[in-house]
């Protein structure tokens, strides 16, 4: 029997632009466990949460916050991959999808290049990045 935990991540929209109507924000929670002396093994999917469009950044008084909380339940008793007396690393991957289920593109040099499939580590995420602004 394991512990049941609620994991939460605050997901921000730092853009000044409104997300398209019907946009869904997908949030996947993962963990990897290790024995504390070696790097953790493969990551394991805990769960996925879908959020509605997140309001854009707006510093005006009374404006809605530009973030939402994503949450999932982590039942430690359901995962054989957990090591006893070890450590657990958690990570989250986030992307936006259009109402048609396509990846919502972000500004050049930012975001993902594809909707994530099966991921075994954070390094498996197909991200786009830029060295400058």
| pLDDT tens-digit series, residues 90-123 | 999 999 999 888 888 777 777 888 888 889 888 8
Could you tell me the residue range of the domain that residue 110 belongs to?
Answer: 4-124
Domain count, the chain: 1
83 in any annotated domain: yes
pLDDT band for position 133 (cuts 50, 70, 90): very low
Strand order in the sheet with 87-97: 44-51, 24-34, 87-97
Q: What is the pTM of this model?
A: 0.86
Give residues with Cβ within 8 angstroms of 103, minimum separation 6: 95, 96, 97, 112, 113, 114, 115
pLDDT band for position 83 (cuts 50, 70, 90): low
49 in any annotated domain: yes
131 in any annotated domain: no
Task: Confirm if 56 and 65 have CB atoms less than 8 A apart.
Answer: no
What integer pLDDT is reported at residue 123 of this predicted model? 84
Buried-exposed string 77-102: b where 16+ CB fall within 10 A, e elsewhere = eeeeeeeeeeeeeeebbbbbbeeeee
Checking if the pLDDT of 84 tops 80, the result is no
52 in any annotated domain: yes
34 in any annotated domain: yes
96 in any annotated domain: yes
133 in any annotated domain: no
């Amino acid at each position: 029997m394991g512990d049941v935990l609620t994991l939460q991540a605050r997901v921000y929209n730092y853009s000044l632009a409104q997300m398209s109507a019907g946009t869904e924000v997908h949030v996947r929670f993962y963990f990897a466990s290790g024995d504390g002396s070696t790097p953790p093994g493969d990551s394991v999917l805990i769960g996925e949460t879908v959020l509605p469009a997140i309001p854009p950044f707006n510093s005006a008084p009374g404006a809605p916050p530009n973030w939402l909380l994503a949450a999932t339940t982590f039942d430690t008793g359901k995962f054989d991959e957990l090591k006893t007396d070890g450590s657990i690393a958690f990570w989250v991957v986030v992307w936006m999808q259009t109402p048609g289920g396509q990846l919502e593109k972000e500004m050049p040099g930012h975001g993902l290049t594809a909707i994530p499939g099966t991921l075994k580590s954070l390094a498996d995420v197909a991200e786009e990045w830029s060295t400058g602004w």
